[in-house]
Amino acid sequence: MSDVINNKARHRYELEVEGYLATEHYKLDGNVITFEHTDVPKELGGKGVGSRLVQGALDQVRAAGLKLVPQCPFVKAWIEKHPDYQDLVKV
Protein backbone atom coordinates (compact mmCIF):
# COMPACT_ATOMS: atom_id res chain seq x y z
CA MET A 1 0.00 0.00 0.00
CA SER A 2 1.39 3.35 -1.07
CA ASP A 3 1.61 6.42 1.10
CA VAL A 4 0.16 9.81 0.23
CA ILE A 5 2.89 12.20 -0.91
CA ASN A 6 2.70 16.00 -0.78
CA ASN A 7 4.03 17.19 -4.13
CA LYS A 8 4.59 20.81 -3.11
CA ALA A 9 5.94 21.81 -6.53
CA ARG A 10 2.63 20.81 -8.15
CA HIS A 11 0.40 21.86 -5.22
CA ARG A 12 -1.18 18.47 -4.82
CA TYR A 13 -1.23 15.35 -2.70
CA GLU A 14 -0.61 12.17 -4.67
CA LEU A 15 -1.40 8.50 -4.17
CA GLU A 16 -0.16 5.96 -6.69
CA VAL A 17 -2.22 2.78 -6.96
CA GLU A 18 -1.83 0.04 -9.60
CA GLY A 19 0.25 2.37 -11.76
CA TYR A 20 -2.35 5.16 -11.71
CA LEU A 21 -2.06 8.48 -9.89
CA ALA A 22 -4.89 9.90 -7.77
CA THR A 23 -4.44 13.56 -6.80
CA GLU A 24 -5.86 16.13 -4.39
CA HIS A 25 -5.16 19.64 -5.69
CA TYR A 26 -4.74 22.41 -3.15
CA LYS A 27 -3.93 26.06 -2.64
CA LEU A 28 -1.89 27.11 0.39
CA ASP A 29 -2.25 30.59 1.90
CA GLY A 30 -0.32 31.02 5.14
CA ASN A 31 -1.60 28.36 7.51
CA VAL A 32 -4.82 27.74 5.55
CA ILE A 33 -4.98 25.04 2.90
CA THR A 34 -7.87 24.87 0.43
CA PHE A 35 -8.59 21.47 -1.13
CA GLU A 36 -9.84 22.40 -4.57
CA HIS A 37 -10.29 19.20 -6.55
CA THR A 38 -9.93 15.44 -6.10
CA ASP A 39 -9.01 13.45 -9.19
CA VAL A 40 -9.20 9.65 -9.15
CA PRO A 41 -8.66 7.84 -12.49
CA LYS A 42 -11.72 5.88 -13.59
CA GLU A 43 -9.64 2.69 -13.47
CA LEU A 44 -9.45 3.10 -9.68
CA GLY A 45 -13.11 3.98 -9.15
CA GLY A 46 -14.96 2.13 -6.41
CA LYS A 47 -11.78 0.93 -4.68
CA GLY A 48 -11.68 3.48 -1.86
CA VAL A 49 -8.68 5.26 -3.38
CA GLY A 50 -10.24 8.71 -3.04
CA SER A 51 -10.92 8.10 0.65
CA ARG A 52 -7.37 6.85 1.24
CA LEU A 53 -6.01 9.91 -0.56
CA VAL A 54 -8.14 12.36 1.42
CA GLN A 55 -7.43 10.71 4.78
CA GLY A 56 -3.67 10.64 4.10
CA ALA A 57 -3.70 14.27 3.01
CA LEU A 58 -5.76 15.36 6.03
CA ASP A 59 -3.41 13.52 8.39
CA GLN A 60 -0.56 15.58 6.91
CA VAL A 61 -2.61 18.78 7.21
CA ARG A 62 -3.16 18.00 10.90
CA ALA A 63 0.52 17.20 11.47
CA ALA A 64 1.51 20.52 9.87
CA GLY A 65 -0.92 22.46 12.08
CA LEU A 66 -2.89 23.84 9.12
CA LYS A 67 -6.57 24.73 8.86
CA LEU A 68 -8.62 23.44 5.93
CA VAL A 69 -11.15 24.93 3.53
CA PRO A 70 -12.88 21.93 1.89
CA GLN A 71 -13.85 23.57 -1.40
CA CYS A 72 -13.91 20.17 -3.14
CA PRO A 73 -17.34 18.46 -2.74
CA PHE A 74 -15.71 15.04 -2.29
CA VAL A 75 -13.53 16.27 0.58
CA LYS A 76 -16.45 18.11 2.17
CA ALA A 77 -18.60 14.96 2.06
CA TRP A 78 -15.74 12.80 3.38
CA ILE A 79 -15.23 15.08 6.39
CA GLU A 80 -18.97 15.02 7.12
CA LYS A 81 -18.76 11.21 7.29
CA HIS A 82 -15.62 11.33 9.51
CA PRO A 83 -16.34 13.79 12.34
CA ASP A 84 -12.92 13.21 13.92
CA TYR A 85 -11.54 15.41 11.11
CA GLN A 86 -14.05 18.27 11.60
CA ASP A 87 -11.58 20.15 13.82
CA LEU A 88 -9.37 20.80 10.78
CA VAL A 89 -12.06 22.84 9.00
CA LYS A 90 -11.54 26.59 9.15
CA VAL A 91 -14.59 28.32 10.59
Q: What is the pLDDT tens value at each position of the chain, 91 positions in all?
A: 469 999 999 999 999 999 999 999 999 999 999 999 999 999 999 999 999 999 999 999 999 999 999 999 999 999 999 999 999 999 8
CATH architecture of 5-88: 3-Layer(aba) Sandwich (3.40)
pLDDT attached to residue 2: 61
- Domain locations in the chain? 5-88
Give the gyration radius of the chain's Cα atoms.
12
Region of 11 on the Ramachandran plot (φ > 0 left; ψ -120 to 50 alpha; else beta): left
